[in-house]
Structure 1
Amino acid sequence: MLRIAICDDQPKELAIINEHITEYLDTHTLEAEVRSFSHPDQLLTAIESESFHLYILDIVMPMVSGIELGKEIRRLDREAQIIYATTEPQFALQAYAASPINYLVKPVEKQTLFDTLTLAISKADLAEEQTFAVKTADSLRVIKLSEILCCEYSNHAVLFWLSNGEKVQSRTIRENFTEYTSLILKDRHFLQCHTSFVVNLRRVERFAKDSFTLCDGKMIPIAVKQYAAVRDTYMDYLMARRRSDD
């Protein structure tokens, strides 16, 4: 399901954007979850444990500007779509540090917003809502692939590092690590870079010859013998993402 977050400290503006989005969704018969945030801190807290496909942000807000908010969203999620809607046109150049899909000046013209929403939704990766069932020692846990930072094989079990800081450990597995994670690896965002690690490329902040660094600072090793293949796969992934953004 499409997930949209709106952040604006002005209640009237927040309501207007919300009404426009509701009308757009009804007109296009789209199902979506729309969350409204009246303070950037509320959204920052939310994205510590959940993600959205599309963010609509004001720029001039208390404590944290929309530009800084957009940069933090982009740090955590390279592929989320960001739209700025603000009364201040002079921040347009600075705003592009967060790679927004558009910069709209209030009062937002409804059709312009609708056209931007159409473009943003066409680029949104809704496939991230796929899940993976993990049998733990005492239960069955269903995890969204988008929440997985990486998977680590250790002592015949798999440890799932999640975006909210949680760790979920599987019970002892009989198959090898690659076989166990085969369904995850079918998703283009995931790559096995080491005998014991699968990484979510969406969560990569830095790539080096011997490791990936994730958005939470965790370092994932790259096997020496796999470096060339890992590098080529990651470069292909980045190129495909850039093409989708054009």
Structure 2
Amino acid sequence: MLKIAICDDQPDDLSVLRAYVGEFLSQRDTGMELRAFTHPDTLLTAMAQERFPLYILDIVLPMMSGLELGREIRRLDREAQIIYATTEPQFALQAYAASPINYLVKPLDKEQLFDTLDLAVSKIDLAGQRSFPVKTAESLRVLKLEEIVCCEYRNHTAAFTLTTGEELVSRSFRESFAEYAAPLLRDRHFLQCHTAFAVNMRWVERFAKDSFTLCGGKAVPIAARQYPAVRDAYMDYLMGKGADK
């Protein structure tokens, strides 16, 4: 289930937003649900455990502004859709540092909000609903692609690092790592940067000539001979080139 996050510290405004977005979801049958937050800190804490492909943010918030919150969201998730809904029209230009899909001024026009939500939902990458089955020594686990940070080949097994920090190790297999990981690598978010590693580029925090640093601080090597191809593939990904697979 994909989730929409609203962050607004004004109870009346939050109530209106929840009612409007709830009505939109009931009409469109998008398969999404709504989560509401009154403080940026609680939203950022939730983001450590789950992904929100769509955010609706106020500008004036406690402790940090919606502008700062949007930039932090964009740092953590380059593909999330962000909508600003605020009483402060003067921050529209600064808001575009977070690449929002729209900047709406309260009181909200419901039709304009619905049009913006339709556009946002059409842009959401639904790859997070795709999955990868992993046979372990104990059971079969079905992982959502979005929760896989990286996959590492270890002595005829695959070790999956997940966004929760969990490591899941598969049963041994006979095929090559490239063959085993092929379903992952058909998704545009995944890149094999080394004979023994495939990374989910949505979770890359730093790119260097010899390694990726992923969320949680995990470092993954880049094979020297593969560096030009890896660099080009990662740059294309950042620029949004190529169709979703």
In the superposition, the TM-score normalised over structure 1's length comes to 0.90
Q: Show the 5 A alignment for 1:147-186.
A: 147-186=147-186
Contact 1:53–1:126 (CA under 8 A) maintained in structure 2 = no
2:132 is matched with: 132
Query: Partner letter of residue 104 of structure 2?
Result: L
Farther off after superposition, 234-243 or 109-118: 234-243
With over 3 angstroms needed to count, the CA separation of the structure-2 counterparts of 1:242 and 1:17, relative to structure 1, is farther
Contact 1:9–1:61 (CA under 8 A) maintained in structure 2 = yes
Structure 2 regions of 5+ residues with no counterpart? none
Q: Show the 5 A alignment for 1:166-245.
A: 166-240=166-240
Contact 2:3–2:54 (CA under 8 A) maintained in structure 1 = yes
With over 3 angstroms needed to count, the CA separation of the structure-2 counterparts of 1:91 and 1:35, relative to structure 1, is same
Q: Show the 5 A alignment for 1:18-167.
A: 18-167=18-167
2:7 is matched with: 7
- Per the TM alignment, residue 242 of structure 1 is displaced from its structure 2 partner at its CA by 9.6
Give distance in 1, aligned partners of 2:61 and 2:240.
34
CA shift digits 1:90-134 (9 cap, x unpaired): 332332222211111211211221121111111110122111121
Give distance in 1, aligned partners of 2:129 and 2:25.
19
Give distance in 2, aligned partners of 1:4 and 1:243.
24
Query: Partner letter of residue 179 of structure 1?
Result: E
Give distance in 2, aligned partners of 1:242 and 1:38.
37
CA shift digits 1:215-246 (9 cap, x unpaired): 433222111111122122223323335999xx
CA shift digits 1:153-179 (9 cap, x unpaired): 123221111122222222223222111
Give distance in 1, aligned partners of 2:13 and 2:122.
25
Percentage of pairs with the same residue: 66
Give distance in 2, aligned partners of 1:209 and 1:9.
43
Contact 1:78–1:203 (CA under 8 A) maintained in structure 2 = no
Give distance in 2, aligned partners of 1:41 and 1:207.
27
- TM-align CA RMSD: 2.1
Contact 1:4–1:32 (CA under 8 A) maintained in structure 2 = yes
Give distance in 1, aligned partners of 2:243 and 2:57.
24
- Per the TM alignment, residue 144 of structure 1 is displaced from its structure 2 partner at its CA by 0.8
Query: Partner letter of residue 180 of structure 1?
Result: Y
Farther off after superposition, 67-76 or 107-116: 67-76
Query: Partner letter of residue 182 of structure 2?
Result: S
SS at match of 1:83: strand
Please list every run of at least 4 consecutive aligned residues from structure 1 whose deviation after the TM superposition is greater than 6 angstroms.
none
Contact 1:75–1:215 (CA under 8 A) maintained in structure 2 = no
- State the number of aligned residues: 244
Give distance in 1, aligned partners of 2:218 and 2:87.
38
